[in-house]
Structure 1
Amino acid sequence: MGRGASVFSSYTKGRNVRSRADVGSNGGLYPSSPEPWSVLESTFDADRPIVGMVHLPPLPGAPNYGGSRERILADARRDARALEAGGVDGIMVENFGDVPFYPDDVPKHVVATMTRATREVVEAADLPVGVNVLRNDADAAVSVAAAADAEFVRVNVHTGARVTDQGVLEGRAHETLRLCDRIDADLRVLADHDVKHSAPLASGDGSAASMADAVERGLADATVVSGAGTGHGVDLSELEAAVETREEFGLDVPILVGSGVTAGTVGDVLSVADGVVVGTALKEDGEVANPVSERRVRELVEAADR
């Protein structure tokens, strides 16, 4: 399967019939599937894939918007090309500059601009492309990805509830997956576990059981583990706990690390995780607001030693 193949397709091609499949050992209805790392390898043409971020600047309507739609598109193309040239295995587009974020329902003009920018990335790089609409607008992410021919979405709160600086965010897995079906969008869902910049609403919302819920009840195709905030690393003990949860609950699902990965830590992280999503460390001077540095991308990819 080449770089243009559907993300996690060998694992989740039948995701929408998962609940009609064989009864699993946990009493739920889930089919057997390949090991998560083999899924990633067949999808991204890499054993443990590195997904690089295209952080969009403030979009029209945001307080810090710079006044040039064409500059937004040009920057997206530039970063996508630098990521591909540096050797990443996939790209994720995110409205990172749109602070303060809408909680879970961005305006239509944000969807429109993100669709245009994501399409520019799809055309600029021959890599799988995904979308994350901050803070937690999964419907918008699905709509953008489907219209732009992207292949996956990231959802910060897919199931359960989290307390954030935007207030309480609630997962809408039931709406997200039904929207995919309704608009015939063959997209994979990467769901955060204990997502950064948030705290659990209840004592069990950051637990192992909540991770299992995202996969078994929310039908997420992969889970993303992150540190406390953007650029903050994940404690390896917490990452190992997530892997133990996967084994305990029999979850055939990839685990990716979604924050704080650097050229100095990527080797250790990928000795435990199945993949990484990297943003800050790939930017010039390691500053999140700067353009992607092809040199820094290459250094991190080489340090991964996969």
Structure 2
Amino acid sequence: MNKIMNYAITKKVTYQEEPRQGQPENLLTPFGLASVVGIQALPGTTLNTLPFKKILKTAVSEAQMLYEAGIRNILLQNVNDLPMYVHVGANIISYMTVIGYAIREALPSDCVLGVSVLRDDADAMVSIASAIEADYIRPKAYVGAVVGVDGVHAGCIDQVLEMRYKLKCDVQIWPDIHDRSSSPLGNVSLLDACQQAVSQGLADALIIAGKDFAESTEKMRLVKENLPDQYVFLGGGANAKNLAQVYEFADGIFVASCLKDTGNMTGKLDQGKLEQFMQTYNNIVSSNSKK
């Protein structure tokens, strides 16, 4: 283990002299709601068909739609970039930085902003987050190792902590644990991986999702029963129909696919679906606050 990582694990360091102006004091609120701006395929990637200016305009517009609907936590993710690289090119880093900065400037300062660079380029994630004053990053494979459609990937725990230390960046770490898009290697259980992410990886929150809603529910209950004080997000599968169930076991949720015109992450944000979901969410929160 290198000295930088060892130092970061030994002591949680606050790097910034002052928080971002307007930054919420607590990023992890009761039944927190987060959504995703899934950036259209960027120039230089296989599926790109649009000029960057149009991609930028769409991303900022969707972020504004989410914020105006009442969502105060927005994750910026390059979900349409294929193939996905462990180390992305300078084009991805520069384009995502410009988009992230534009969103930060367009929205009020109380908006919590996250960054996820697929496939888990830790240096890029932390660097972009630092440049745009993002509040957290979301690594998909943080501890251990996983195998996905394009082979084996090692967790990026050491790169994240090292780059965060180098840049003196206070960005929080919200990793997916046993992400549903890949399979973990070895005999490390879900609980062990969660504990490693917190104790060794200094994770501030954990994100859990299964292959379907039933598996997600089972995983979430297991983690919360054994780690009751740890903030845990449901990472996917939530919709207006099952939201009341989600409220019973999740500290927060990431919602994206059910808000898209295509019903999946790669689609465009649908205003009607967004309004319907937010009405359900607000009703649930309101009814539970009265109990």
Partner of 2:288: none
Partner of 1:179: 163
Matches within 5 A, 1:251-262: 252-262=229-239
Matches within 5 A, 1:293-304: 293-304=270-281
**TM-superposed deviation, 1:49:** 1.1
Q: Mark the CA change 1:60 to 1:297 in structure 2 (over 3 Å): closer, same or farther.
A: same
Separation of aligned partners in 1, 2:28 and 2:117: 26
In 1, are the aligned partners of 2:79 and 2:266 still within 8 Å (CA)?
A: no
Q: Mark the CA change 1:73 to 1:146 in structure 2 (over 3 Å): closer, same or farther.
A: same
Separation of aligned partners in 2, 1:207 and 1:287: 26
Partner of 1:99: 82
Separation of aligned partners in 2, 1:105 and 1:17: 23
Establish whether residue 139 from structure 1 lines up as the match of residue 107 from structure 2: no
In 1, are the aligned partners of 2:72 and 2:112 still within 8 Å (CA)?
A: yes
SS in structure 2 opposite 1:284? coil
Partner of 2:241: 264
In 2, are the aligned partners of 1:90 and 1:129 still within 8 Å (CA)?
A: yes
Runs of 4+ in 1 over 6 A off after TM superposition: none
Separation of aligned partners in 2, 1:285 and 1:267: 23
Q: Mark the CA change 1:179 to 1:45 in structure 2 (over 3 Å): closer, same or farther.
A: closer
Partner of 2:221: 240
Separation of aligned partners in 2, 1:46 and 1:242: 18
Establish whether residue 273 from structure 1 lines up as the match of residue 254 from structure 2: no
Matches within 5 A, 1:83-122: 83-102=66-85, 104-122=86-104
In 1, are the aligned partners of 2:260 and 2:267 still within 8 Å (CA)?
A: yes
**TM-superposed deviation, 1:44:** 4.8
Of 192, 196, 203, 1:209 maps to 192
Q: Mark the CA change 1:162 to 1:287 in structure 2 (over 3 Å): closer, same or farther.
A: closer
**TM-superposed deviation, 1:43:** 2.5
Segments of structure 2 that go 5 or more residues without pairing to the other structure are 1-6, 13-23, 286-291
Separation of aligned partners in 1, 2:235 and 2:249: 13
Separation of aligned partners in 2, 1:87 and 1:208: 33
Separation of aligned partners in 2, 1:47 and 1:211: 20
What code does the residue aligned with 2:201 have?
A: G
SS in structure 2 opposite 1:268? helix
Deviates more, 1:88-97 or 1:195-204: 195-204
**TM-superposed deviation, 1:172:** 2.5
Separation of aligned partners in 2, 1:276 and 1:292: 17
Separation of aligned partners in 2, 1:277 and 1:76: 18
In 2, are the aligned partners of 1:86 and 1:295 still within 8 Å (CA)?
A: no
Separation of aligned partners in 1, 2:120 and 2:28: 29
**TM superposition score normalised by structure 2:** 0.84
In 1, are the aligned partners of 2:174 and 2:203 still within 8 Å (CA)?
A: yes
Q: Mark the CA change 1:287 to 1:192 in structure 2 (over 3 Å): closer, same or farther.
A: closer
Q: Mark the CA change 1:302 to 1:173 in structure 2 (over 3 Å): closer, same or farther.
A: same
Q: Mark the CA change 1:293 to 1:46 in structure 2 (over 3 Å): closer, same or farther.
A: farther
In 1, are the aligned partners of 2:42 and 2:95 still within 8 Å (CA)?
A: yes
Q: Mark the CA change 1:44 to 1:296 in structure 2 (over 3 Å): closer, same or farther.
A: farther
Matches within 5 A, 1:1-306: 19-20=10-11, 43-44=26-27, 46-102=29-85, 104-126=86-108, 127-204=111-188, 206-228=189-211, 232-233=212-213, 234-247=215-228, 252-284=229-261, 286-304=263-281, 305-306=284-285
SS in structure 1 opposite 2:253? strand
In 1, are the aligned partners of 2:236 and 2:255 still within 8 Å (CA)?
A: yes
Separation of aligned partners in 1, 2:231 and 2:275: 24
What code does the residue aligned with 1:215 have?
A: V
In 2, are the aligned partners of 1:82 and 1:293 still within 8 Å (CA)?
A: no
**TM superposition score normalised by structure 1:** 0.80
Q: Percent identity?
A: 26
